[in-house]
Chain A
């Protein structure tokens, strides 16, 4: 590929880290293909955001339009097609954020490009770019090829491409005319909404006892609350527990729930899907109990026990009570 494009992502006027992670991926790939890196910025106020971008990118293509203040996938597709529509031999990199999850599939059809989503790495096989992804409940790694496509789009898993700023690019911004002026968008932003707050705030808790799918279909939640009380912590959970209405949303740990930074995070029956792990990055000590030895949670935990939590939880509470006397 001749060109690598990186889509800058922003929310409420601030660049998001996904932008820099995509640049980090681009920087490792560009030398291998002799490709040039260009940033694409779609926003309502390019000048504020581009100041930071030109420190890291030598070239920024910007489209300014009032409807680009929030991330509108309909508007973004139209803008990206006006920039990339006549181009070939490229890779477009974007963070696999909740906004891009909406944008990427439709965009790939409109651009006629091959799409690999949620990539955590790349490899070059016989000169061709391949992406690394996780499949089957995030338990199996897959090396995926783009089958020689001249137009490629890849979205990147958050936290997989660490970025080191250089602040030395001294780049320039090329503004392009907005293609949105005359067109009515089929989708409009109405408002932001914050998740409901509850009687516990897990984001500030020092000890968290967190439960996941491993608690089974008809769990006795008192068992886990009791363990949380015994260790002086709060009870939290992964997404499936909220989906089943076993705990309210404000107990949910993860990127779409709450990011937590406890001193100790006890993960019980949590497999460790990346959305969940994304919410516990700040925890210095993660202890996991899961009956599946290959559960991804063991890759981020410091200590693990391969066991059924239904057996382990009462035994653990017993031992803790013995120690506390």
Chain B
């Protein structure tokens, strides 16, 4: 079985303090750590587990700048057989449509049974690439998938609906499956495992190999464009309790008492 998995390299913003960059169209990213998108960590793990269960090969792909090579190296250490890095500086500022298009052009020339992606990325939260990629390649797609089995050339999977409800779906292959977080336990990657794949070449792929030109990627190739970013006003909403840990804890305990909890 030929499995392709698409990875995204994003700044870790979940716990970081963020500020707006000059120009007002993005945040300052210089001080942020970059890492594999959390959803995609579950995607590569699922791709590798499918390979281990049904036999096959895993190819990891990312549209990402030079620094992201370490992420693709980590994908190899996680069990991918090969990895490709698509990049040209013109990709800077691309929306989900452009990323899907670049991936589609690359994948079009390669046979595959399943493409596994994460449903969302925490940076733009768009959730666009998986479904778009499927439509561009003319194959069906599914998102928020939390269990996958393959039988008789079909994928049987479970996807999340709201309120603790799931639906079980049967889908023809080839297809794109975008996974939910938590569907597996991503394996621990040791330094030794990374060293073992240190010599594997990760080819870079430029625009000409995709048959795309600079105007078709980045801002100019995107279908939507960020005009302005801004931080929501701080302190909007909650009454913030100040003071030392001790003082704040005492005040919280008092509030709980006032509300009749204690």
| Residues of A near any B CB (own CB < 8 A) | 11, 70, 73-74, 77, 97-99, 101-110, 114-118, 125, 130-131, 133-147, 149, 186-195, 207, 213-214, 231-232, 239-240, 242-243, 245, 249-250, 255-259, 263-264, 271, 285, 287-289, 291-294, 296, 298-307, 311-312, 315-316, 318-320, 322-324
Contacts and interface: CB of A to CB of B under 8 A. Distances in A.
A312 B249 contact: yes
A97 B224 CA distance: 21
B253 A319 contact: yes
Given A102-B144, A190-B169, A255-B162, A117 B126 contact: yes
Interface in B121-135: 122-132, 134-135
A267 to B, nearest CB: 10
B237 to A, nearest CB: 4
Contacts of B22: none
Nearest to B142: A102
Contacts of B225: 144-145, 147
Contact of A105 (B96, B224, B250, B252): B96
B169 A188 contact: yes
Given A144-B226, A256-B160, A322 B165 contact: no
A85 B255 CA distance: 58
B249 A319 contact: yes
Contacts of B15: 213-214, 291-292
A186 B223 contact: no
14 contacts: A101-B127, A102-B141, A114-B97, A115-B128, A136-B122, A140-B20, A144-B225, A149-B223, A243-B182, A249-B164, A299-B237, A304-B241, A319-B249, A320-B256
Contact of B125 (A104, A138, A249): A138
Given A137-B14, A307-B245, A190 B156 contact: yes
Interface of A is mostly: mixed
B169 A303 contact: no
Given A137-B14, A190-B168, 11 more contacts: A77-B135, A102-B144, A115-B97, A117-B127, A130-B227, A137-B122, A144-B225, A145-B225, A255-B163, A256-B144, A302-B238
Interface of B: 11, 13-18, 20, 27, 42, 96-97, 100, 119, 122-132, 134-136, 139-144, 156, 158-172, 175, 180-182, 185, 222-232, 234-241, 245-246, 248-250, 252-257, 259, 261-262
A193 B168 contact: yes
A311 B171 contact: no
A255 B11 CA distance: 26
Contacts of A304: 237-241
Contacts of A105: 96, 100, 127-132, 135, 141
Contacts, number: 281
B262 A231 contact: yes
Contacts of B163: 255-256, 258-259
A118 B170 contact: no
Q: Which 3 A-B pairs have the closest CB atoms?
A: A105-B131, A304-B238, A243-B182
Contact of A101 (B134, B139, B143, B182): B143
Given A141-B232, A316-B253, A115 B246 contact: no
Given A74-B140, A142-B226, A305-B240, A110 B135 contact: yes
A25 B237 CA distance: 24
A115 B224 contact: yes
B156 to A, nearest CB: 7
Contacts of B144: 98, 101-102, 256
Contact of B135 (A109, A292, A302): A109
Contacts of A255: 162-163
Contact of B167 (A117, A191, A213, A322): A191
Nearest to B253: A319
Given A98-B161, A144-B226, A188 B132 contact: no
Task: Output the residue of B20, B238, B257, B261 with the most chain A CB within 10 A.
Answer: B238
B223 A115 contact: yes
Nearest to A284: B259
Contacts of B227: 125, 130, 143-145
A139 B185 contact: no
A118 B162 contact: no
B209 to A, nearest CB: 22
